[in-house]
Amino acid sequence: MKNNILSVVIPAYNEKNTIQEILKRVQAVNLPLQKEIVIVDDCSTDGTRDILRELEKNSTGGNLKIVFKEKNEGKGSALKAGLLAASGDILIIQDADLEYNPEDFKKILKPILDNQADVVYGSRILSGDAKRVFYVYHFLGNIFLTLLSDLLTGLSFTDMETCYKAFTKKVADSFKHELKSKRFGIEPEITARIAKGRWRLYEVGISFYGRTYEQGKKINWKDGFAAIWHIIRFNLFE
C-alpha cells in the first residue's frame, strides 16, 4: 500500500480556547506524509464556529476541511462525519483539546508505515512518557472498561478509551458507514467493529496531559455506565 496522505480527524465542541492551538500543533508535526486536517464542529455555542469560519476563509492549499454540523449530537456523531469526509490513505483521530500531543503521531504511525500494522492505538497506560496524574475513578473506570471490552473482543488492549486511534483507509472503510454511537460510546464501538476484522493490531505508549472539568473536560460517570452497554451491545448484538 502506498501511503501519501494522513487524514487527521478532529471532532470539536465548544473548544474556542484550544482549537487554534491544536490545529497549529497538528500542522507543525513533521511527517513523511501530506496532512489533510478534517475538523467537525458539533454545533458549538461558545464561539468555536466563528473561529473555524475565519480559519476556513483564510485557508490556503486545500489541506483543511471543516464540517459544520447543524445539530449537537455528541463526539461519536461528529467523529463519524469526519471519517466520512476524510480521504487519506491513513486516518488518525485527534481531540480538539490539548490532552494529547500530536508529536506522538510519529510513534503511532510507524507500525503502519513499516507495513506491520493496519490499526494502532496510542496507550496512556503503556507509556513511559509524561502524563498528568488524572482522576482515580477515571483511571479505574478506564481499566474496567478496557478489560470488559477485551474479554468480549478477545483482544488485549490496555487503553481502549484512548483518543489516539489510527487505521488504514481500508480499515476505516470497513466500519465508518456503520457507526451508530452518538456520544462517547464511539470508542468501544470502533474497537468492537475493528475486532471483527482480520486486522494487524498494535499499541504504542503515548504522553497524556489530562484536563480538569474546570478546564472543559466533558466525559462523566454517566458516559462510563453508557460505555458498558455499548461494549455489550456492539460485541454481542451488532
**148 C-beta neighbours (distance < 10 Å), count:** 17
At 161-201, the pLDDT tens digits run 999 999 999 999 999 999 999 988 999 999 999 999 999 99
Residue 117: CB atoms within 10 A of its CB come to 23
pTM of the model: 0.92
List the alpha helices (DSSP H) in 14-168.
19-28, 48-58, 75-85, 105-113, 136-153
Output the nine-digit C-alpha cell for 207: 504522553
E strands, 57-215, where? 64-68, 90-93, 119-123, 165-168, 201-205
- Per the structure, the complete domain to which residue 26 belongs is given by 5-237
CATH code of the domain containing 52: 3.90.550.10
DSSP 182: -
**213 pLDDT exceeds 50?**
no
Per-residue pLDDT, averaged over 153-165, amounts to: 96
Number of domains in the chain: 1
Bigger pLDDT: 62 vs 20 = 20
Q: Minimal CA–CA distance to 13: which of 37, 46, 36, 56?
A: 46
pLDDT tens-digit readout, 23-66: 999 999 999 999 999 999 999 999 999 999 999 998 877 799 99
pLDDT digits (tens, 9 = 90+) for 50-109: 999 999 998 877 799 999 999 999 999 999 999 999 999 999 999 999 999 999 999 999
Average pLDDT over residues 198-222: 75
Q: Report the alpha-carbon distance of residue 228 to residue 157 in Å, rounded.
A: 16
97-147 tens-digit pLDDT: 999 999 999 999 999 999 999 999 999 998 767 666 666 777 888 999 999
